[in-house]
Amino acid sequence: MVARSPPPTARQARPAESFSNASARHNTLRASDPRPSPIVPDAGSPSYLQDNSRFDRDFIAAERTRKDELHRHDEARWDRVRGEAQARELIRQAAEEAVDAHERYLQPTGGARSNQSGGSFDILTLQYHNTPSGHQLQQEDEAKKNRAVQRSVFINRKQHPLPYDIITNQPHKAL
């Protein structure tokens, strides 16, 4: 007797056998498994998610968490900025109220006049009063006039360093 090999199987049957065996070896949880898993919900339940949709959901949740954190950070910063601005505004209002109270205190006495420059000068005759404050005001005004003249001479010399005009060759007019 001669030993014979088993009869050949059809070409279509061979890969199906190997595929079913491979899936049986590597797939521990099959959809046809009758035992319910405490980890993976049933395929028909609303909490069952495919891996790709689970990834999308996790990514969207992580992105939303990141954006919410940025929003909270911005809100905290703007709250701090608003608080600082409010504190500055309260300080400014308190200072204004103090100035107003001081002016109300000085008003009945006549000391609230802020512009008292005409007290030593008669506007109708354009003469200084013959008082110590009138003489002091006259000296201050003369000193200011002298400083203004000196400043104008200095600026004129700075603008015209040569004693003559370089275009017309004429001497500059003296101030």
Q: Buried b / exposed e across 134-156, counting CB within 10 Å, b at 16+?
A: beebeeeeeeeeeeeeeeeeeee
Q: Are residues 98 and 66 in the same domain?
A: yes
Determine the pLDDT at residue 121.
81
Determine the pLDDT at residue 109.
63
Q: Are residues 107 and 123 in the same domain?
A: no
For residue 57, is it within any domain?
yes
Determine the pLDDT at residue 105.
83
Assigned token pair, 47: 């909490």
Q: Are residues 107 and 124 in the same domain?
A: no
Number of domains in the chain: 2
Question: How does pLDDT run across 127-148, given as a tens digit for each residue?
Answer: 888 888 889 989 999 999 999 9
Determine the pLDDT at residue 162.
81
Q: 3-state DSSP call for residue 80?
A: helix
User: Mean pLDDT across the chain, nearest whole number?
Assistant: 78
Residues lower than pLDDT 50 in the chain: none
Q: Are residues 154 and 101 in the same domain?
A: no
Determine the pLDDT at residue 19.
52
Q: Are residues 87 and 132 in the same domain?
A: no
Instruction: State how far the Cα of 133 lies from the Cα of 120, in Å rounded to an integer.
Output: 6
For residue 9, is it within any domain?
no
- Single out the residue of 151, 150, 170, 172 nearest to residue 161, CA to CA: 172
Stated as kind and residue range, the H or E segment containing 121 is: strand 121-122
Determine the pLDDT at residue 110.
56
Contact call for residues 46 and 40 (beta carbons, < 8 A): no
Determine the pLDDT at residue 83.
94
Determine the pLDDT at residue 172.
75
For residue 30, is it within any domain?
no
Domain range for 82: 50-111
